[in-house]
């Protein structure tokens, strides 16, 4: 090959190398910045549209008598107007009583007050306590006062009876229970379950 062809190959190689470096330094950085800006923008929009979405959140509390309260949710949102209120989705809670017993609560949604642990559960509420099972539309828990109040379409099931009422209040330390109907002229419906299967 002649000297002229070597020079042409060398010049072509240098030009290709310059184009490659210009692309890496200039165009690649622009692409990265655009992608970075898009990611930041979408993350910002997600947070703004979801009112501070928090995934897999949990809170834990214990009183001076050894009773413990733990609440977890799949998603949570901090209320921007009242920062002590946490709005939760797909909620599970456990009350660990000092005597070793446990109360399980689950619901679609809940509003948790992280100042005093008061929680308002709603949407397919289920509460299990030993052999007792209660479902309702709403449940208000005061961990400080050790009182649970279930409202609206309350169904109680145990191994000896089924019960339907509008409201049940339970003091979970001394087991005092108050069962009510909203209309004073309606009666609480109780069905006994006999061991031989006859009602």
pTM: 0.66
Q: How distant, in Å, are the alpha carbons of 80, 120, 135 from that of 157?
A: 39, 22, 9
Q: Among the listed ranges 33-37, 61-65, 148-152, which one has the minimum average pLDDT value?
A: 33-37
User: How far apart, in whole angstroms, are the C-alpha atoms of residue 18 and residue 119?
Assistant: 66
Q: Give phi and psi for 11, each to the nearest 5.
A: -65, -45
- Given a cut of 60, whether residue 30 has pLDDT beyond it is no
Q: For 137-168, what is each residue's pLDDT tens digit?
A: 999 998 888 888 988 888 888 777 788 888 88
The larger pLDDT score, comparing residue 35 to residue 53, is at 53
The larger pLDDT score, comparing residue 149 to residue 172, is at 149
Domain ranges of the chain: 1-49, 53-192
User: How far apart, in whole angstroms, are the C-alpha atoms of residue 30 and residue 80?
Assistant: 36
The larger pLDDT score, comparing residue 105 to residue 180, is at 105
Name which CATH class applies to 53-192. mainly beta
């Amino acid at each position: 090959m002649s000297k002229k062809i070597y020079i042409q190959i060398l010049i072509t190689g240098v030009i290709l190398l310059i184009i490659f470096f210009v692309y890496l330094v200039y165009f690649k950085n622009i692409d990265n910045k655009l992608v970075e800006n898009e990611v930041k923008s979408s993350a910002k929009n997600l947070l703004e549209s979801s009112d501070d979405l928090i995934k897999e959140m949990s809170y834990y509390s214990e009183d001076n008598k050894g009773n413990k309260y733990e609440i977890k949710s799949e998603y949570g949102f901090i209320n921007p107007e009242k920062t002590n209120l946490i709005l939760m989705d797909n909620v599970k809670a456990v009350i660990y009583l000092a005597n070793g017993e446990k109360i399980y609560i689950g619901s679609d949604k809940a509003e948790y007050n992280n100042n005093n642990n008061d929680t308002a559960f709603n949407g397919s509420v289920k509460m299990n306590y030993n052999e007792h099972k209660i479902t309702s539309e709403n449940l208000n828990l005061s961990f400080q006062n050790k009182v649970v109040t279930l409202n609206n379409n309350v169904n109680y099931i145990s191994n000896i009876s089924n019960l339907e009422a509008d409201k049940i209040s339970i003091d979970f330390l001394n087991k005092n229970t108050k069962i009510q109907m909203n209309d004073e002229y309606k009666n609480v419906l109780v069905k006994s379950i006999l061991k031989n299967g006859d009602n």
